[in-house]
Amino acid sequence: MDTATLLDFLGLLVRWLHVIAGIAWIGSSFYFIWLDNSLEAPAPGSDNAKKGVGGELWAVHGGGFYNPQKYLVAPAALPEKLHWFKWEAYTTWLSGTALLVLVYWLRAGAMMVDGNVRALTAAQAVGLGAASMAGAWIVYDLLCKSPLGKRDGLLGLVIFGLVTALSWGLAHTFGGRAAFIHVGAAIGTIMAGNVFFVIMPGQRRMVAAMSAGGKPDPRDSLRAKQRSVHNNYFTLPVIFIMVSNHYATTYAHPQNWAVLTLMMAAGVSIRHFFNRKHKGVYAWQYPLIGAVLLAIVGWWTAPHLPPLPPVKGEVTFNRVRAIIGERCVTCHSPSPTFPGYTAPQAGVKLHTPADIAQNAQRVYQQVVVTRIMPLGNLTKITDEERAVIAAWVKAGAKVE
């Protein structure tokens, strides 16, 4: 098996693992925030109140009844078996970073660098991508540890401002798709950092204090809860970023950083509605805000044909085929010649007249409307050539 084929197969396996782990992590985040918001305080003087239970609920699921309880700080004694939740987060981050390396960093010249955005070497692009992940965590963590960390609402707004600034910076550094993915990688690093550096150490200190016969420090509990809530609000923006590479109208938009910011704001607003709802507060203004933001994105990203130069000469299929053969077939043939590719990208083949005719609308959308293809314009297609393709498609995309 050659190297390119091996990397493709590894990418498949790592992507599968990443999705599985992400579902587990996000599922536990959704469940525990729901659980925390749905707890009801025990009656004063009841047995549960006397033993330090701060909240409990009854639920039925899978044919059984459950009675989860949360202690104000900790129970009087540790149980023999204590379940921890950490590997979902660690596996998601490790697999996501491995996928980032396989898909983007090892092919940085094609997947990250866009000369129309910024002239970078592959090594510079990878370095900036890694720095954005580490830098996002450092700044975020400092904000949480600052006096601002005691004001949850204001802290949330500042963190959203941080992510917006990061989106703007990366969108002015990488190609659109790579910029979006690296914003997601930075947020994912913050989320995993919360688990690894704050939540887990705090919980270990709580357990150690009880094992030594002492009382846990309630500040560890408060810090862990704050970071868990932050992770919960990050989930919907990250999920959008994970699927965004399938929708070029978002990351190929001239103001793609603003499009991403609006999508993330919609996700946060919708998540906030559910978190409020779990507390019994039906704040319908939040899903309405989310819907308005999504409508704005839908209107703003609707395709608008960029101005093209006038076409000189007759537009024939042979002329179009020559352009596609020179600019597109290196990636879109049964045996691509572009380094690192072992199969036609997205399954699109353009090496025969029938293939070109079948994919005419797709070529028009990606080459003429969004202009995300050729990738990074590495094959140097010109606006005049885009105009020829546009004229051919508008005339019926006939194969002569």
Tens-binned pLDDT, residue by residue, of the chain (400 aa): 667 778 888 989 999 999 999 999 999 999 999 999 999 999 998 988 888 899 999 999 999 999 999 998 888 888 888 899 999 999 999 999 999 999 999 999 989 999 889 999 999 999 999 999 999 999 999 999 999 999 999 999 999 999 999 999 999 999 999 999 999 999 999 999 999 999 999 999 999 998 888 889 999 999 999 999 999 999 999 999 999 988 888 998 999 999 999 999 999 999 999 999 998 898 999 999 999 999 999 999 987 777 888 998 888 989 989 999 999 988 898 888 877 677 787 788 888 889 898 999 999 988 888 888 887 788 889 999 999 999 999 989 888 7
Residue 303, pLDDT score: 77
Neighbours of 96 (CB within 10 A): 25
The pLDDT of residue 73 is 82
Instruction: Look at residue 144 in the predicted model and tell me its pLDDT.
Output: 97
Long-range contacts of 321-324 (CB under 8 A, 24+ apart): 321/353, 321/356, 323/381, 323/385, 323/388, 323/389, 324/350, 324/356, 324/363, 324/389
> φ, ψ for residue 320 (rounded to 5)?
-65, -45
Q: State the pLDDT at residue 297.
A: 97
> Among residues 181, 177, 170, which one has the least CA distance to residue 375?
177
Q: What's residue 337's pLDDT?
A: 81
Q: What is the pLDDT of residue 32?
A: 94
- Is this prediction's pTM over 0.95? no
Q: Token pair of 22, please?
A: 């992400």
For position 2, what pLDDT does the model report? 67
| Residue 54 backbone phi and psi in degrees, to 5 | -90, -25
pLDDT of amino acid 1:
62
